[in-house]
Amino acid sequence: MTKVNDIFGNEIEFECMGCEIAEHKLIPPGGYVYDDGFINISADPEIPIVGFMVLGIKKHVKSINELTRDERIHIMDVLNTTIEKMKKINICEEVLLIQEEKASHFHIWIVPMHEWMINFNKNVRNIKEIIDYSKENFDEKTKDDLLNAVELLKEEFKKSNK
C-alpha cells in the first residue's frame, strides 16, 4: 500500500492510484473533468499546477502497446480534445505530454506550459524542478485557480458531449 499527501495535505492510501481513480475510489481535486467509462481526465492529486491534467484509463496496463488499436485511437482523440479545450479557455498556449512505462498504470500527463516555467526552460528535462517549485509555492490563490480550471474544463466537455 502506498501513502502520499494530496495537494490539499490529506493523506491518501492506494495500491494503484490509476485504478483507484478509474474506479472512483479516489476522487481527484475538483472531480472528473471527463469520464467515459474507459478514459478519465482529471487534475493530478499530487501536483498543484493550474491546468495540469492526467489522462487515465480504466484498464490496468503499463504500456500503450497493451491496448487495442481502437483504444489507442480513442485515447488520442480524447487527448487532442482535452488539449484543444485547455487552449480555448486560456489555461495555456502549449502543453508538454509525458507518458512513461515505468508507472504501474498507463496514464499521460498533460502539463500546461505557464510563463513562470520559463525559469526552468519549459521542458521535460526540468519537470522534477517544475513540480517541486509548484509544491513549494502552492497557496490559496493557486488552489482556487486550479479548481477553477477544473470547473472550466468540465463545462467545456459538457458543451460538446466530449
The domains of the chain are located at 2-160
Q: How far apart are CA 21 and CA 57, in angstroms?
A: 9
Q: What are phi and psi of 43, to 5 degrees?
A: -70, 155
pLDDT of 1 higher than 90? no
Q: What is the pLDDT of residue 162?
A: 58
* pLDDT at position 142: 95
Other Cβ atoms less than 10 A from the Cβ of 26: the count is 18
Distance between CA 20 and CA 100 in Å, rounded? 19
Residue 31 phi, psi (nearest 5): 85, -165
pLDDT tens digits for 29-70? 999 999 999 999 999 999 999 999 999 999 989 999 999 999
Phi, psi of 89 (to 5 degrees): -95, 15
Strands (E), the chain: 2-5, 11-14, 32-35, 39-43, 53-57, 95-98, 107-112
pLDDT surpasses 70 at 110: yes
pTM: 0.93
CATH superfamily, domain at 2-160 = HIT-like (3.30.428.10)
pLDDT per residue over 88-100, tens digit each? 999 999 999 999 8
What does residue 121 show for φ and ψ, rounded to 5 degrees?
A: 65, 15
**Please, what is the Cα angle at 121 between 87 and 7, to 5 degrees?**
65
